[in-house]
Amino acid sequence: MKKYFKGIALLVTMLMLVSVFAVGCAQKTEAPQLAPETKKEDVQKEEPKKEEAKKEEVKWPTKSVQVIVPAGAGGDTDFNARTVSKYLEKELGKSFVVVNVKGAGGTIGSRKVKDAEPDGHTVLFFHNSMLISKILGLVDYSHEAFKEAGVAVLDKACAFVVSADSKYKNLQDVIDQLKKEPKSVKFATEVGAFTHLQVLAFQEATGTEFNIVDVGGAAAKTAALKGGQIDVIGTQYGLIKQYIDAGDFRCIGILADKPVEGVDAKTFKEQGVDIAFDKFYHFAFPKDTPDEIVDKFTKALEKVVSSPEYQKDISKYYLVPSYMPPKEATEYLNKTEEFYNTFKDKILEAQKNNKK
């Protein structure tokens, strides 16, 4: 009998142990629970707050923005920078101060921006010459050293201009003279600048050769032509329209792919010279500038370029409002640079001859 009760007791003990083990296992395999003080509903409420934080607008600009223009005051780059900056101020609520930093083909100004603090308060405003500087070996960087912020405007009225009393009435007159006597016509440019590319392309297309004279930037070229020291200059039509109206200058052709409204001159193509050049003006920040700052800037730039007031302002200078977002602008710059590289040897040769 005692053995019987001992067996019963042993069985009960074993059953109790199995029960405890089973409960322990069940507790270990349960799904993790929220902390007592954090309810599921509270988590759902917090998620939209995180999304709102992501969408919160970046606090920029917090002070005046310096717009570095690698050219002197009074030229086309300076005019365009000041015009678009005036409207950017209204959009972004802070001053956009244009700072002219000329010298070394624009490389002093571009380097100033490249090496600036990437906080969004220093931005470059420049044009095609930036691409040419690397070809010339003036710098070891091009537009890829910056964070592109978009193209704001195109100038399709790049022009060849002569004095009003010049014997050259059109491009053919110039071609005939150069065929007869190579280098007998003096063309003013800035070696390595945008107009230098234009004259090289003209020479290649027509089989001619100018006497290319390096006189400096836009204002210097205008002064040289007005003073009778030069026969032909390459410049922007809007810059010299006042001299045309005054009877001092005459435009003998524009490098556009089609006629430009308001410009009283035929295109090169209409005169049998199959070349065209657009001059672009773009903004670029230091490479490490935060994306959210650049995004905010480009949205403001797009609004400016689309505004009727801005378009009316620049139309006086025969400019075309042409907003390109960063990605599209970068592709455009890449293609333009590739085209310019086809003239690399000729540009370097001209630079070498100019130093002699």
pLDDT digit of tens for each residue in the chain (356 aa)? 444 444 444 444 443 433 433 334 433 333 333 333 334 344 344 444 444 444 567 999 999 999 999 988 888 899 999 999 999 999 999 999 999 998 887 899 999 999 999 999 999 999 998 898 888 788 999 999 999 999 999 999 999 999 999 999 999 999 999 999 999 999 999 877 889 889 999 999 999 999 999 998 888 899 999 999 999 999 999 999 999 999 999 999 999 999 998 899 999 999 999 999 999 999 999 999 999 999 999 999 999 999 999 999 999 889 999 999 999 999 999 999 998 888 888 777 766 665 55
Instruction: Write down the pTM of the prediction.
Output: 0.77
Q: Structure tokens of 44?
A: 């759902």
Q: E strands within the chain?
A: 65-69, 96-100, 122-127, 146-155, 158-163, 186-189, 211-214, 232-236, 249-254, 279-286, 320-324
C-alpha–C-alpha distance, residues 55 and 120, integer Å: 19
pLDDT for res 216: 83
C-alpha span between 65 and 116 (Å, rounded): 12
CA angle 163-321-242, nearest 5°? 25
The pLDDT of residue 6 is 45
Q: Are 225 and 204 in contact (CB under 8 A)?
A: no
